[in-house]
Amino acid sequence: MSPLAHRTRIKICGLTREQDVDAAVEAGADAVGFVLYPKSPRFVEAARAAELARRLPPFVTPVLLFVNETPERVRDACGQVPAAMLQFHGDETPAHCAQASAGRPYLRAARIPLDPSASFDLLEFAADHSRATALLLDAHVEGYGGAGKTFPWSRLPPSASFHAVLSGGLTPANVGDGITQVRPRFRTLAVDVSSGVESDKGIKDAGKIHRFVAAVRAADALLARSPNVQLPPA
């Protein structure tokens, strides 16, 4: 298998400051996320997201995160950040995602229950949202967003054909384990981090961002040497 197949894409989410955008780019992030959900402590207005996105060099993708937003407001925000990918993180139906995205690529969050007795069929969810570029796998907690919680990775199906983005409680300390355990289950795997690289809500720590990226690259190197490696379930 080509070494490129083992390159995990990285998104740093919940950016609110210029220095945090610069730190993510310097560390080697592939995408940065801006939260356009007013109830989030990491909320930024679309105009602020546009201002921050203008700092990005070519091939680093801005991602606009919405929660149950109207298609009109989604399209207005997209007009201000023309190069953005979208992320729907609420209760949006497939039809709503299609209407709001208006042909733009988007991620759809799949909220994985923390309670082992709670039922959730990820494969059915993926079939319903087949137009999404990838499913973002996050912990299902009260409200929206993973709240820094890691869901049981063992609950994921053993094999799925879609692109996945692992999120929810990732840190420099556990992202390597997440990649080695989850990567073999999906077509490709990316990772998404927010609180795990913060010093406070909405305030990123450049050192943590660099350590997170280094941990991802170490896991990629491990998988390149031993593609079938899997650690015990979390």
Q: Output the six-digit token pair for 186.
A: 């999906």
Adjacent-strand bridge partners of 189: 164
Which of these, 90, 81, 93, lies nearest to 52 by C-alpha position?
81
- 13 is an active site residue: yes
For residues 30 and 10, the answer to whether their CB atoms sit within 8 Å is yes
Q: What are phi and psi of 171, to 5 degrees?
A: -140, 170
Q: What residues contact 64, with CB distance under 8 A and at least 6 apart?
A: 33, 34, 36, 46, 49, 74, 77, 78, 81, 84, 85, 86, 87
Q: Which residue out of 20, 138, 177, 220 is catalytically annotated?
A: 138
Q: Which residue out of 13, 78, 97, 177 is catalytically annotated?
A: 13
- 97 is an active site residue: no
Positions annotated as catalytic residues are 13, 138
